[in-house]
Structure 1
Amino acid sequence: MASAPQLPLFYNGLEPLSSNTHADWRIRPQETAPFLIGQHAIPLTVEEFPLAQRNFPIVFSVGEDAIPLGLMGLNEGVNVFVDSTGAVTENIYVPAYIRRYPFMLARLRPDTEELSLCFDPASPALGAFEDGDKLFDGDQPSEATKQILGFNETFEQAGQRTQAFVRELRELELLMDGEVTIELTGAPQPFVYRGFQMVNEEKLANLRGDQLRKMSQSGMLPLIYAHLFSLSLMRDIFARQAQQNGTPQPAPVPTF
């Protein structure tokens, strides 16, 4: 979800997984995710909306290449669902973007469409450990690596469907600049959050019948409503921030 030379969110580098270089490497589970500390907006695939909307407001980033984001905080540097070690503090839906780390599929050369399984070499989850799951059996991928590859392939396919979903929203001119205002008793002024996009409910209601029918049949319409319903959680996230860190300062949700 980021183009070269930028690295995607969380990643410090990318190295292709190789049976030559990493023949003796293993992967072991991590109890914490320090890379989540202070990360307030996590990319989502559209298929995650029904589960994600139970815990997070779902918004869209600004710009032409908008992507869905689950907000784990309203202010940059704030994640209300992880502690100071990066441990998730409660039973919430964990987005696939988080679960795929430290792996991802990437093009090793700009002149090819072929994707290779890569990993972040800064991750402590992989190495020449005595314990953990083997990444290779001889020169062949282990069962653990096959499962990792399968998950990443599924994630890439979901990402393509998400791009198509957002593209259709844009073609129907349903996306608009979002704004959420939260008023506190005794506060001198309301807290206003901007810098994101959301679906325009008025335009949605005024679509032609055949357009709405097509969206309903394709499964697009329920996903839009999952997004719209999730926005009510903005106030819950605000309250969590106030409880954990004191009343947050009004600031825009950064663009991605």
Structure 2
Amino acid sequence: MSDTPSAAPKEPKLEGSLYMFREPELLSKEKHSDLGISRPESPFAFAANIRAVPLVVTEIAAAQKHYPIIFTDEQNPMPLAVVGLIDDVNLFVNDKGEWDQNVYIPGYVRRYPFALAGDQTSNRMAMIVDSAYEGIKKGSDLPFFDGDKLSAATQQAMDYCTNYERDRQVTVNFAKQLATYNIVSNQVAQFTPQGSDQPQPFAQYNGVEEQKLSALPEEKFLALRQANILPILYAQLMSMGNWRLLMERRVRRFNLKGEEMLKPVTKQ
């Protein structure tokens, strides 16, 4: 397949949806030849109202230093980095639309506004761009095309997306394997508000149940280690200490006190 969808009797169709993409389109010279990307005034505004970001297994070691890491569900435990609590506010994106410089930015966010998706007219992958992204404009710093070919910047983005898709497939296989061990369960995160001596629940999530992991028969535990899954599970368990840090980040963001800490607020 060429770098971009080529002319054909039938125009390729994009079906389904992509998380955080508002107007996903197949990137093509016909539609986007005069467009490109410039850094918008609020570069991460597109991710300002989310609570979680998909992760691939290769980035869990870095992400666990900053975010609670959870799984989508018990049957298909795909990893997520939690970035918001109670409200639809990403606590790592400030009011200027900038991501906190001191924390790891998940690859799913860094590849935006690009992605790869299955071309419905073939079995191959096609380049996707979110045409609603504020940074896409005419006369941009980084045009999508250089003549009839992808520009160097777009080719670099496509290479990144290709590598990310490869890691995503590895993560899909990881989730399938992990599900067979029956060690992921629904859990509750708790926080003790200032002035109270009783912890209160503020989030339900799916995570590794440490007791079940420890109770695995030796051969299953060894199989996890041999499949390089064990370090990922320990990283997920270690990330649970970030729940408190995330709640403290929310308290500072909205200047909350006492019982206010566990109640929804209006975004400021």
Q: Deviations over 1:113-151 (max 9, x none)?
A: 32100111111222221x412322221112111111111
For 2:103, which of 88, 92, 96 is the aligned residue? 92
User: Which of 5, 8, 16 is the matching residue for 2:18?
Assistant: 8
Gap change, CA 1:125 and 1:79, over 3 Å in 2: same
Amino acid corresponding to residue 136 of structure 2 in structure 1: L
Residue identity opposite 1:249 in structure 2 = L
Distance 1:250-1:224 versus aligned 2 partners, 3 A rule = farther
| Post-superposition CA distance 1:201-234 (Å, at most 9, x none) | 1111122222222322332111110110000110
The farther-off stretch of 229-238 and 64-73 is 64-73
C-alpha root-mean-square deviation of aligned residues, in Å? 2.1
1:183 deviation in Å?
A: 1.7
CA–CA distance in structure 1, aligned partners of residues 106 and 194 of structure 2:
34
Equivalent positions of 1:194-209 (< 5 A) are 194-209=203-218
Structure 1 SS opposite 2:99: coil
1:74-127 deviation per Cα after TM superposition (whole angstroms, max 9, x unaligned): 223122211123212332100011011111112242x63321001111112222
The question of 1:139 aligning with 2:148 is answered: yes
Any residues of structure 2 matched to 1:1-256 within 5 Å, and which?
A: 7-30=17-40, 32-62=43-73, 64-109=75-120, 112-129=122-139, 131-187=140-196, 190-245=199-254, 246=256, 247-249=260-262
What are structure 2's unaligned runs of at least 5 residues? Answer: 1-13
Q: Structure 1, residues 33-87: CA drift from partner, whole Å, max 9, x if none?
A: 1112121211111111110011101011236444211111222312221112321
In 2 relative to 1, CA 189–36 (structure 1 residues): closer, same or farther, beyond 3 Å?
same
Kept in 2: contact 1:60–1:68 (CA 8 A):
yes
Give unpaired runs (5+ residues) of structure 1. Answer: 252-256
**Contact preservation (8 Å) 1:62, 1:195:** no
User: Structure 2-normalised TM-score?
Assistant: 0.84
Count of residues in correspondence between the two structures = 246
Within 2, Cα distance between the matches of 1:174 and 1:180?
18
Aligned to 1:254: none
CA shift in 2, pair 1:147/1:164, >3 Å = same
Which amino acid is the alignment partner of residue 25 of structure 1? L
- Give the distance between the partners of 1:95 and 1:174, measured in 2 at CA: 25
**Counterpart of 1:74 in structure 2: which amino acid?**
L
Deviations 1:7-52 (A, max 9, x none): 2221112111112322222222345211121212111111111100
